[in-house]
Structure 1
Amino acid sequence: MEETGPKLVFLCNPNNPTGEYLGKKRVVEILDICNKLDALLVIDEAYVDLSRKKWYSDDLIRDGNLIIVRSLTKSFSCAGIRIGYLIAARGIIKALEAVKIPWNVNVLAQKVAITLLGEIAYLKQGVELVEAEKAYLSGEFKRLSLKPIRSDANYILLDLNGRNASALNEKLLERGIYLRDCTSFGLPEFVRIGVRRHDDNVELVEALRDVLK
């Protein structure tokens, strides 16, 4: 960063598609560099609520040019609502308000968001479910000679061990299953798999076992 001198740095934490979650020490190091460069750091924490390693990043707001972006729809499984929020210093918020579109959040989304804020117990259950199912899926993938990448998020980046992701998806589509092809990330032999309920995960494993024969 010091060589290129960016005006804005975008950090996805946990990372997409790897699921790697940087700890506070590393993020502070990045923020310090951004402050020296007078660059704005935007941290996308869309998947952070479903990580067992989550740490409290809000305190960093007072330490520099920082915006933290989070998504309620990822955390509470209501993607169609499209609601999230950001945290930043007052000066940054004021600048954003000057350029944001009017009526950018509809009334239904606002009502849902207020309700979701009272469902922390549900969120904690989700974290435990994700951890248990990640362990199950990782074990099954290894038995199929695939290579799951350790993830701190609610998805797993899966190395197909030399197989083409698009070709695999074509076979799985015949069974009503579609995986996130990671070719657009420059990883044509990887897929990203969202952790679902156990029955869904069992169905996926069985389908993979069939198509990989």
Structure 2
Amino acid sequence: MNIQDLIRPIVKALKPYSSARDEYQGNSDAMVFLDANENPFENGVNRYPDPQQRTVKSLLSKIKSIPQKNILLGNGSDEVLDLIYRAFCEPNQDNIITLPPTYGMYSVLANINAITIKSVQLNNSFQPKVDEILEISDANSKLLFLCSPNNPTGNSFEAKSIERLIKEFKGVVVIDEAYIDFSKEESWVRRLKEFPNLIVTQTLSKAYGMAGIRLGICYASEEIISVLNRIKPPYNVNELTQQKAITQLEQNELTQQQVAAILSERDVLVKQLDAIDFVSKIYPSDANFILVKVDDATKRYNQLIEKGIVVRNRTTQPGCENCLRFTVGTKDENEKLIKVMKTL
């Protein structure tokens, strides 16, 4: 597959903006910076941030065992996804394929970018219908979104199905791994070299506990990363976000301890939810949340709100009728949830 054939002509012809910090990349020690029209009075954030976030990428490179040239960072995963749309999808011409129930922003971003949405609902086991997906794709199908572990169902897609889709889909396959740190499945980042049309997105919002800093991560071939770099805003990840990310990534051991605690609490919560009389089904989870089928999702959602507990009502999503999604909280939070549910 030639990735260049998938890139929008206007993007290929684009002359990217060159910022002051792109042009000078030398040692900043003892240098006098009079190039970027910044306020010269030091306060910690008076200078523009590194437009390529080199220190953050260096830490991610070590943790994920992937070269920095294969990493792009964005202002949340939503910016990363939007860049992918703008790089590959021609407005009012191309289409993307989603597999509901899934993350809603894929469709929102398609609508914003004037891209047609084709959907193939997951089967009863919340797995992709591979034959149907390949059958509805056409020459204008540029992106296929696979959320694995999937939101809101929590399960991972079978590796054999994902591999077949990557090999046979004629566009770019985007695997959203926002919850991969909670899964026993291996990340598809490990196999980027095999598939030039593969993009893997991750985030610091979930396992790393950094939802408030809005840092999304894109792993792909050097060719795809270079295309996305051409169209990203020059200083898209601010200095405070970069500093917070560096601090958190430097204590990766703490993150792993927190992930282990969440997984332990998830197992406990599953057992406790199973004992609730109005719970009819608990779906397997590879994420930090649990999808649960109840007798009346809207009724139970409102009852929990009245008791001071907010969960997510997913009953309107395809295949999720009367389902609530419970994020795994702290031990105390989970115990409060169960105590309240026993009184409903």
TM-score, normalized by the shorter chain, greater than 0.5: yes
Give matches, 1:56-205, under 5 Å. Answer: 56-62=187-193, 63-145=195-277, 146=279, 147-160=281-294, 162-163=295-296, 165-186=297-318, 187-205=320-338
Give the Cα–Cα distance (whole angstroms) in 2 for the partners of residues 157 and 201 of structure 1: 15
Figure out how many residues of one structure are paired with residues of the other and give that number: 205
Query: Does the C-alpha gap of structure 1 residues 200 and 29 become closer, same or farther in structure 2, counting only changes over 3 Å?
Result: same
Please report how far the alpha carbon of residue 56 of structure 1 lies from its aligned counterpart in structure 2 after TM superposition: 3.7
Give, as a single letter, the amino acid of the residue that structure 2 aligns with 1:8.
L
Q: Which is higher, the Rg of structure 1 or of structure 2?
A: 2
Preserved contact between residue 207 and residue 259 of structure 2 (Cα < 8 Å): no
Give the Cα–Cα distance (whole angstroms) in 2 for the partners of residues 112 and 201 of structure 1: 28
- So what's the TM-score if we normalise by structure 1? 0.89
Q: 2:79 maps to what in 1? A: none
Preserved contact between residue 61 and residue 89 of structure 1 (Cα < 8 Å): yes
Preserved contact between residue 134 and residue 165 of structure 2 (Cα < 8 Å): no
**Identical aligned pairs, as a percentage?**
34
Q: Which structure 2 segments of 5+ residues have no match? A: 1-132
More divergent stretch after superposition (100-109 vs 65-74): 100-109
Q: Secondary structure at the match of 1:41?
A: strand
Deviation readout 1:90-122 (Å, 9 max, x if unpaired): 221122122223322111111111222222212
More divergent stretch after superposition (53-62 vs 172-181): 53-62
Please report how far the alpha carbon of residue 128 of structure 1 lies from its aligned counterpart in structure 2 after TM superposition: 1.9
Query: Does the C-alpha gap of structure 1 residues 87 and 174 become closer, same or farther in structure 2, counting only changes over 3 Å?
Result: same
Which structure has more helix as a fraction of its residues? 1
Q: Which runs of 4+ in 1 moved over 3 A?
A: 23-26
Q: Secondary structure at the match of 1:191?
A: strand
Give the Cα–Cα distance (whole angstroms) in 2 for the partners of residues 58 and 79 of structure 1: 22
Please report how far the alpha carbon of residue 192 of structure 1 lies from its aligned counterpart in structure 2 after TM superposition: 0.6
More divergent stretch after superposition (55-64 vs 195-204): 55-64
Deviation readout 1:167-186 (Å, 9 max, x if unpaired): 21211112111111103423
Q: 1:18 maps to what in 2? A: 153
Query: How much is the aligned-residue C-alpha RMSD, in angstroms?
Result: 1.6
Q: Secondary structure at the match of 2:227?
A: helix
Q: Secondary structure at the match of 2:282?
A: strand
Deviation readout 1:180-200 (Å, 9 max, x if unpaired): 110342324001111111110
